Amino acid sequence: MTIKKRPTVFIDRDGTINKDAGYINSLKNFEMYPFAPQAIKLLKDNGYLVVIITNQAGIARGIFTEDFLSQVHNKMRVILQKNGTDIDGIFYCPHYKGSKIPAYNIDCDCRKPKTKMIDDAIKLLPVDTSNMFMIGDKYTDIQMGINAKCKTIMVKTGYGEGEIANDYSKWKLKPGLITDNLLTAVLSILSGKI
């Protein structure tokens, strides 16, 4: 039996789904944007896979553990489930070159803007690789997305507005679209604006 491949939206976490509060080192600090559950539900209800792709170097820096990170992700999923939706996967990079924790002191292939997290998702999930999107608030999200052959949307939440104002002219790669936030990004995908 072949599994039907599905269009897929990869979404950055901090600054895109939840407020970027530096390293999220307590559950209290994880505050989802009010529009995020609706945005994810709209994608899911329209047949998209939704996959979170996130650098979490706070693990390599000893600020929190992988166990704690899974508690944060559990909190996120409970909120999504209460809103009648969920995500299909979360891929995170715990590494940082220079970490004092040897297991994480790796010049890895997954830290954005490298593409291994998307490559892994493609191996594990029924991703239609001809129909992929990446939504994020940083240039590194856009670089990774373009390198992984996704259409890209930069949101103005999190670091987005500042990065666009200060750095846009210097970027070699440009986002396919810039939108106010995750919900407007999703509406742009669903209406075929990108």
Q: Which residues are catalytic?
A: 12, 14
Of residues 137, 145, 179, 183, which one binds Mg ion by CB under 5 A?
A: 137
Nearest to 23 by CA among 81, 96, 80: 96
Give whichever of 31 and 45 is closer to Mg ion, judged by the CB atom: 31
Q: Which of 8, 9, 11, 14 binds Mg ion (CB under 5 A)?
A: 14
- Interaction residues for Mg ion, span 146-175 (CB under 5 A): 158
DSSP H or E stretch at residue 51? strand 49-55
Q: Is 88 in the site for Mg ion (CB under 5 A)?
A: no
Site pattern 116..135 for Mg ion (x: CB under 5 A): --------------------
To the nearest 10°, report the CA torsion of 93, 97, 99, 104. Answer: 40
- Residue placing its CB nearer to Mg ion in the complex, 48 or 139: 139
Cβ pair 158, 138 in contact under 8 A: yes
Residue 15 interacting with Mg ion (CB under 5 A): yes
Instruction: Pick between residue 12 and residue 163 the one whose CB is nearest to Mg ion.
Output: 12
DSSP 145: H
Q: Does residue 79 sit in helix, strand or coil?
A: helix
Residue nearest to Mg ion (CB): 15
Residue found under tokens 């373009």: 146
What CA–CA distance (Å, rounded) separates 188 from 14?
A: 21
Contacting residues toward Mg ion, per CB under 5 A? 12, 14-15, 137, 158
